[in-house]
Amino acid sequence: MGIARLEILENEREHDRLATMAADVRAGLGGGMRSIPPKYFYDDEGCRLFDAICDLDEYYLTRAERALLDRHASAIIASIGPPDATALVEIGSGLARKTGILVRALCARGGSPSYVPFDIAPAAITMSATSLLPEHPSLSVRGVVGDFARDLGRIALVAPPSAGPRLFAFLGSTIGNLDEVEAPALLRDISRLMTGRDRFLLGVDLVKDPRVLVAAYDDARGVTAEFNKNVLRVLSRELDGDFDVNAFDHSASYNEARQRIEMHLVSRRRQSVHLRAIDLALELDRGERILTEISRKFTRATVERTLFQGAMRLESWLTDAKGQFALVVAARA
């Protein structure tokens, strides 16, 4: 019964997907400051590993955000008005570990609610729908597979503004993966999709003791290290490469000046790597670093500035007693 309510809008042909990856990887690895876009973490194995990270003792983010959602979900859902055909649009949904809390509050209001997960990984959308639909028979799930850097406009195909108010959610402090230019640009793109009755829910990790931050990205069991290294397997598989995963170490450090965690893969020796599908050869020195992810940490002031630059305005600031994490409700400016 539940699966019959699942639709997935695919984003692009396989050729286009690989062409995009090729361009991203060439730009990131071909320059002096080498990097790999973090969106390529999330193949099936990457999703599995990130799900495991969320259960680690050191990774407080998921627990802190879940606790805030438990406390405030009903009020957040109520902020988008009467329960006519309301849609929850989750950007970068992943496995939707916390979405169930919002969906439960959404369905409790009656009407014909819909959940629109937007993610680069089709498997994540299917798994989240499979977990939600049996519990919520009134819910419809209309997933969109895409890259939020360029495919956000496709949301309107499955959740048009004329169908009712929408809550756009960007949880997990995923906004921290975007730098000071990219984050406001994404918010502007979301703001353009919003109407005056839509709302935007943002989860942000807050500035705190650097030791707590580093531990969250360099756990004692090495799960995050394996997650980080898995991106090399993705590139080798998709671009006919020969990365030796064992020739790299995982590194996570806190850049206090920019208030962000930086994750790198560090070459353990001098080595040559080839990505034959894009005719790219890399010569890496011992100790050379490849940036794989940033995770910016915020204060209320930096959140308000980012919202302002993204054509939004803050309506609610919800945080826990320890000041670890915040949920932000915003409207189009």
Cα distances (angstroms) measured from residue 301 to each of 80, 205, 305, 308, 315: 25, 13, 6, 11, 14
pLDDT of residue 332: 96
Is residue 62 within 8 Å of 70, Cβ to Cβ? no
pLDDT of residue 2: 40
pLDDT of residue 13: 55
Tokens linked to 307: 């919202």
pTM of this prediction?
0.93
What the chain holds in terms of domains, given with CATH numbers, is 3-10+60-208+299-332 (3.40.50.150), 16-52+212-296 (no CATH)
Strands (E), 130-277: 140-145, 166-170, 199-205, 248-255, 260-267, 271-275
Query: Cα(77)–Cα(80) distance, rounded to whole angstroms?
Result: 6
Strands 140-145 and 114-119: parallel
Query: Cα(141)–Cα(295) distance, rounded to whole angstroms?
Result: 29
- pLDDT by residue for the chain (333 residues), tens only, comes to 344 467 778 755 556 778 889 999 999 998 779 999 999 998 889 989 998 999 999 999 999 999 999 999 999 998 887 766 688 999 986 666 788 899 999 988 887 788 999 988 787 788 888 888 888 888 889 888 888 878 899 899 888 888 889 999 999 999 999 999 999 999 999 999 999 999 999 999 999 999 999 999 999 999 999 999 999 999 999 999 999 999 999 999 999 999 999 999 999 999 999 999 999 999 999 999 999 999 999 999 999 999 999 999 999 999 999 999 999 999 999
